[in-house]
Amino acid sequence: MQAPASLPDKPKNRLPREAYVSEDWFQVEQSQIFSRCWTFAGVTMDFPEPGDFRTIKAGANSVIVIKGADGELRGFHNLCRHRGTELLEGCGNAGKTIVCPYHNWVYNLDGALRGVPAQRECFPDLDKKSNALFGAAVGVFRNLVFVNPDPDADFDNWLSGLDQVPWPHDLTSTELQENPDNVVYEIECNWKVFFENAIDGYHLAYLHKDTLGGPTHDKNLWEVFGQNMIWWSTEREGVKHRIPQFVENSAKGSGLKTVKNAETPGYGGVYMLFPTTILTPNPWGFSISTMEPISANRMRLRVRNWSPKGWFTYTHRAADIPGYDAETGLIKSSHWTKHPLETGDFQTEDVWVCEKMQKSMQSPRFEVGALAIGAGGEAAIDFFQQTVLGLMPKQ
């Protein structure tokens, strides 16, 4: 898939306003981007037993990832081959087979059609072999499971060497615990606004001066791995580091427990996996955020966090995050009780500014000006936009 090989020296804005506000544009993205790219589907520990499954939305596709009797993880489109009914909902264990709730067609966990009620009378000519579930591709990288609705998609090509970058985290470690709370933000912006904010190195020292405290544009770095990017802070004599100095100092003062091997040098601080996955490993744990585009103007951000045991008893509870709506369980700007810049929470600051960008984009006068040069400026935004454009139909 087309992505430039490196960040541009002279970045410029390449996407029109319509890319962020038009439902027509969004529908094209559903088929051209999310139906052909890799979406985070869970971690290997979500699938301990044969029959364990999760259903995943990948753009307009519903996809199943399920563990077979042979222990293999496989992906299928969540569609019955009879008349297309959705087969499974949410996550759970399907048992030894997948049974369609409509007319009870039965599929093996490897997708093969196994049984059709009253087949001899109702479907005398049916060839079961050609009616297996439609396949989807599954890839696993460091216990992270990804799915692609395109069964021929090449996972290694997508990783493009990203799996060679040092990584100290062992998700299977018993010292770690996953946050039991569901943390789901509903954000009133286009998914690309959120993505571009996440790779904007220029804003860290300004919008987040009280929370992340930088680094400044010359002290942070994005590097390209295929369509993906990894971020490092270079505040310490240019050495690649996984976290801003300011954050490390405040965390050290708090006495938080670090994960084993936290001192592994060279691992990144933010991994932006195109198009919708954000990994943020750090010495105190790591989180996986998945963007779920809902419409041109709205998205959800689903966050899973792991940290050394004990951490979640006193921090990171969903209800403590600014904007938590007890009725829906979602985190939304409409439920903020104080100004985002007074929350001390950088994620809230980001949501605030993304929604402000989206509001501006409703204006026909909206226009993007110059972009800051450099891998710690806004060059990554140009790279991302070229990646998006490379997947869209040629105008």
What is the number of the residue whose Cβ is closest to Fe ion? Answer: 350
C-alpha closest to that of 322 among 342, 336, 301, 305: 336
Quote the least distance from Cβ 293 to Fe ion, whole Å: 19
Q: Which is nearer to ligand FES, 85 or 234 (CB)?
A: 85
DSSP class of 394: P
Q: Which is nearer to ligand FES, 23 or 89 (CB)?
A: 89
* Helices 346-361 and 191-198, axial angle in degrees (round to 10): 130
The Cα 271–Cα 269 span in angstroms is: 7
Quote the least distance from Cβ 103 to ligand FES, whole Å: 3
Q: In this structure, what are the phi and psi dihedrals at residue 253, rounded to the nearest 5 degrees?
A: -65, -25
- DSSP output for 348-375: HHHHHHHHHHHHHHTSTT--------ST
Q: How many residues make contact with Fe ion (CB under 5 A)? A: 1
Residues that bind ligand FES (CB under 6 A): 80, 82-83, 85, 100, 102-103, 105
Quote the least distance from Cβ 63 to ligand FES, whole Å: 17
Q: Exposed, middle or buried by CB within 10 Å (0-12, 13-18, 19+), for 222? A: buried
Instruction: Choose the one of Fe ion, ligand FES, none that binds residue 14, judging by a C-beta under 5 to 8 angstroms depending on kind.
Output: none
Q: Which is nearer to ligand FES, 71 or 124 (CB)?
A: 124
Q: Please, where are the H alpha helices in the chain? A: 18-21, 23-29, 119-122, 155-159, 191-198, 245-254, 346-361, 379-391
Instruction: Choose the one of ligand FES, Fe ion, none that binds residue 350, judging by a C-beta under 5 to 8 angstroms depending on kind.
Output: Fe ion
Instruction: Choose the one of Fe ion, ligand FES, none that binds residue 82, judging by a C-beta under 5 to 8 angstroms depending on kind.
Output: ligand FES
Quote the least distance from Cβ 230 to Fe ion, whole Å: 16
Quote the least distance from Cβ 113 to ligand FES, whole Å: 10
378 binding Fe ion? (CB under 5 A): no
Quote the least distance from Cβ 380 to Fe ion, whole Å: 13
Structure-token pair, residue 316: 């990171």
Structure-token pair, residue 96: 């030894």
Quote the least distance from Cβ 355 to Fe ion, whole Å: 13
Q: Which is nearer to ligand FES, 133 or 380 (CB)?
A: 133
The Cα 285–Cα 303 span in angstroms is: 13
350 binding Fe ion? (CB under 5 A): yes
Quote the least distance from Cβ 7 to ligand FES, whole Å: 48
Instruction: Choose the one of ligand FES, Fe ion, none that binds residue 257, judging by a C-beta under 5 to 8 angstroms depending on kind.
Output: none
Q: Which is nearer to ligand FES, 85 or 261 (CB)?
A: 85
Instruction: Choose the one of Fe ion, ligand FES, none that binds residue 96, judging by a C-beta under 5 to 8 angstroms depending on kind.
Output: none
Instruction: Choose the one of Fe ion, ligand FES, none that binds residue 391, judging by a C-beta under 5 to 8 angstroms depending on kind.
Output: none
Count the helices and strands in the chain (H runs, E runs): 8, 20
C-alpha closest to that of 176 among 268, 49, 310, 48: 310
For the four alpha carbons of 159, 164, 168 and 171, in that order, the dihedral sign comes to: positive
Q: What angle do CA 230, 234, 236 make, to 5 degrees?
A: 145
Map tokens 């505040």 to a residue.
Answer: 235
Quote the least distance from Cβ 200 to Fe ion, whole Å: 7
| Cα–Cα distance list, 41 to 120, 146, 184, 287 (Å) | 38, 5, 16, 14
Q: Which is nearer to ligand FES, 86 or 218 (CB)?
A: 86
Instruction: Choose the one of Fe ion, ligand FES, none that binds residue 309, judging by a C-beta under 5 to 8 angstroms depending on kind.
Output: none
Q: Which is nearer to Fe ion, 186 or 350 (CB)?
A: 350
Q: What angle do CA 211, 212, 217 make, to 5 degrees?
A: 135
Q: Which of the ranges 40-48, 81-89, 124-132, 343-351 carries the binding residues for Fe ion, by CB under 5 A?
A: 343-351
Residues that bind Fe ion (CB under 5 A): 350
